[in-house]
Amino acid sequence: MFRAIRRSFAEGVRGMVKNGLMTVTSLLVVTACIFVFGVFLMSILNINYMTSKMADEYQVDVYISKDVPVDNAQIGVFVDRGTEMDDAAYEEKLKNVETLIMGVPNVDISTIKYIDGATRLSEFVKDLSDEEKKAFENIDASVVGNSYSLRLEEGADEVETLRLLGEIEGVSKVMDGSDLYVYMAQLGGISTTVSSSKYDEIKENLKKEITEIPNIDTENIGFVDGVDKFKDFKSNLTPEELKDFEGLPEDLIPDAYAVRMKDLSIADETIAKLESLENVESVENSREFISVIDSLKNMVKKISVWIIVAFALVSLFIISNTIKLTVHNRRKEINIMKYVGATDSYIRGPFIMEGIILGLLSAIIAFFISQWTYQGIMTAISSAASGLTADLSFMKFGQIWIQIIGSYLILGTVIGAFGSSISVRRYLHV
């Protein structure tokens, strides 16, 4: 076997030397073909690299709500006592109101519960910070008022139901969970947003919930301070533009978590999960940008396959015709060898080896030309526009040379062997 390979190699080299001008011509043409293929290959590798890097660096801002987390489905129906009503009369009034509440459509009767002012006040105060609790130390429970707590049936028209509840005789006000919190906070004169201690707790809980979403890159979750972000935004404005922002609070922009995703193809699903988390005010993202990246990556994959196939066929055509000329010049020699009993593999071996050698030499020459060209282009771009290569994230040749030389050698070997085999086949039938 080794002797046959050695003989085929020697005969192949001898054939290339014998057909010197034709060999040089073939070498140049195949090298050019492989080089052009390499240009597309390097372009594809860089486009894939850039889109992957853009995808890796793409992030969404999950803005944290400073609204107090409340049970907004909980409805409070307050019953006014007045100043001249005795206990018995008020008890009768409460019973009448409760009966009328039960008759309102969409009210879940099983959830109706009476809450006196003292109980509602204590339930509200227990979740406040120590500093905020001090504001309620001298608040009289009678100021809060007595009420009924209830929930609506699933799918109920909340606006219409609240209107009907508010029209019940004896009802002073009807509020949902958010309105209830604002009402109670204003009684003590505290902020209607969360306290700093509660806010820290919210931030920690939200971060934990974000990390539990499967598609989130948990190692790259950053915190964005809203105040600093607003300051950075204003620092880039002209004095004339800054006038539009005079009087606005420094915390106009909420704090946020900057998160990245592992797989952009399921970005919509991931963003929906982020938006559904409690204490998330909004999620700032660019679905259009995600779509562009995803489409570009898919397009590059499809184009790269067709480009490789196209240039493989072109190279195959060129090298097969080159070997065909060589075989044609030696057709009489092949015929004589067939007549004296030489096997097809014996005859075909040198020509296939010649094609392989031609393909390998072309691949090596094309590789060095590609390296020189690629590095020259990168140097020229770097000199013409400093920072552009960093922004576009071009790959260094050292990152792609293995793919390039590997592709070239495989392409040259396969096409050389296959092209030679096709060319010599017709002359073996004598």
Q: Do the Cβ atoms of 30 and 250 come closer than 8 Å?
A: no
174: which strand partners?
A: 77
Please determine, for residue 429, whether its predicted confidence score (pLDDT) is greater than 70. Answer: no
pLDDT single digits (tens) 152-205: 988 778 889 999 999 999 999 999 988 888 888 888 888 777 767 678 888 899
Task: DSSP for 100-124, please give it.
Answer: HHHTSTTEEEEEEEEE-HHHHHHHH
pLDDT single digits (tens) 248-303: 888 788 899 999 888 777 888 888 899 889 888 888 876 566 666 667 667 766 77
Edge-to-edge order in the sheet of strand 222-224: 222-224, 256-260, 59-64, 280-284
**What's the pTM?**
0.50
pLDDT single digits (tens) 112-130: 999 999 999 998 888 787 8
Q: Do the Cβ atoms of 412 and 347 come closer than 8 Å?
A: no
Q: Which two tokens stand for residue 188?
A: 């003590």
pLDDT single digits (tens) 40-65: 788 778 877 776 676 666 788 899 98
Of 424, 415, 419, give the one whose Cα is nearest residue 342. Answer: 424
The reported pLDDT for the residue numbered 287 is 59
Summary mean pLDDT of the chain: 80
Edge-to-edge order in the sheet of strand 147-152: 107-115, 147-152, 75-79, 171-175
pLDDT single digits (tens) 378-390: 887 777 655 444 4
The b-or-e profile of 269-307 (16+ CB within 10 A means b, else e) is ebbebbeebebbeebebeeeebeebbebbeebeeebeeb
> Angle at Cα 326 formed by Cα 322 and Cα 330, nearest 5°?
160
